[in-house]
Each structure stands twice: as C-alpha cells, then as structure tokens.
Amino acid sequence: METTVFVVEDELIHQEAIKIALEELDFTLAGLCDNADEAFDCIKKANPGIVLVDIALPGINNGISLAQRIHDELHIPHIFTTSFTQDEVIKKAAETSPSGYLTKPVDTNNLKAAIALSLNKPKDNQNDSHAEDSSFFTRIGDKLIRVNLDDVLLVRSDGGNYISVVTAEKEVSCRCTLKQFRKDLPANFVQTHRAYLINLNHLDSFNEKEQTAFLKGKDAPVARRYRRDFLDRLKKW
C-alpha cells in the first residue's frame, strides 16, 4: 500500500531535504505547508497516511497546537521534525501523542524507521474506543449513574473541572474538564464553542443568523472559531 506523507515545514532547506528523503524512501508527498494556521485544512483535504510537523512555525498557532488538532480531530499519526531539544518543549510535544520525534536535519534512515514504526503502531481511533461500551458512570451523591453516550445531546463546560452532560431527560454533572471528556468520544461529537460539544446524531437544525444549534429542545452556540469545522462535518451527515 502506498504511504503518503504531508510535510509542515517553513524552512526551505529542510523542506527540500525531507522531500528528497521521502523520494529516496519511495514515500509519496501528499502535500506541503509552511505555516500552522493554514496546515490543518490542507491536511484534512489531503488525508495523508502520516504528517511530519515542525514545532517552530509562523502564525498564531505552532506545531504543537497543530499536532494536537491532527491527533484529536483527524486521527492521523504525526512525527515531529524540529531543532528543539529542551525538556519543556519535548514534554509539551509528548502530550499530543506523537509517533516520533526527529531532530533536524532529518536523517533518511531515522525517518524511514520513524515512519515504519508509526504505521505499525495501533491507531488511537475514537470510534473503536466505544465499540463495545458506549456508556459511562458518573457519581451523583452516593450513587453511580449510568449515562449512555447515544442519548447525550450536548456537553457543557461549567468552569473549572466540571462539565454538564445533557440528555433529553436529564442533566448530570461530571468532575472533569471538557478537553478530558472529549478525548474518548466517538466521531459524531463535535466542538461548537470553547464550552460546548454537541452530538450530531441529535442535531435538528442550525440557525445561521443566531449561530445556534438545536438538539431535541436544547441549544448550543456555534462560535466563529469552530463554525467552519462544524459546517464541514454537517456535509458528511
């Protein structure tokens, strides 16, 4: 099977070196981008088998924040290619669950090994994480209450370390952050606001004027930052 690789790198000398290495290794270049702000949409469109990401990139975002989105939303393995070797940077990079970390200039043999290991690594697939059990328990007083994910309409951050999980019949509080809860959700959940996740399976309508999603009598705001991805996801449903 053909291995396609997308490269996010802003330095021309390293771009060319990686392109030559990929050609020598018979990997196909799926695309190339030189800044983190534009890279996500390009990667999403190209749908490569793996992404090589530099950490220091121009733009509002950087390689680490880009890699986090690639991991969380696209579920495509990524390898960092960077000149950074500081412990603090490596620690932050590790939080994105990379498949590898290569220092520049990238050695061809090391690149080959990193890609091979990445492609053989079991995928962190959100759909699979709930294939057998699509429910969870949360504590209310002295009781553990089961909540079925299929019934969840939306999830709202209540600030701090608490969220509210809302179904058509009830609303329960959980002690965790929205980011933590989102990590293991299936693909039909999408973030529409920094404080809201919604279940697309229950979406009834979207009011473009009010920028509001409606789900079985409940509603959630759709912020500008998340609107494009939200609308793109609607086209698949």
Per-residue pLDDT, 161? 82
Residue 56, C-beta contacts closer than 8 angstroms, at least 6 positions apart: 10, 62, 63, 82, 83, 84
Stated pTM of the model: 0.53
For the chain, 237 residues long, give each residue's pLDDT as a single digit of tens: 578 999 999 899 999 999 999 999 999 999 999 988 899 999 999 999 999 999 887 665 688 889 999 998 898 999 999 887 777 878 888 888 888 888 888 999 889 888 888 776 655 444 443 334 477 777 666 667 778 888 999 999 988 788 999 998 888 888 888 888 887 678 889 999 999 999 999 999 999 899 999 999 999 999 999 998 888 877 644
The tally of CA atoms less than 13 A away on the side-chain side of residue 127 is: 4
* C-alpha Rg value of the chain to the nearest Å: 20
Cα distance between residue 48 and residue 151, in whole Å: 33
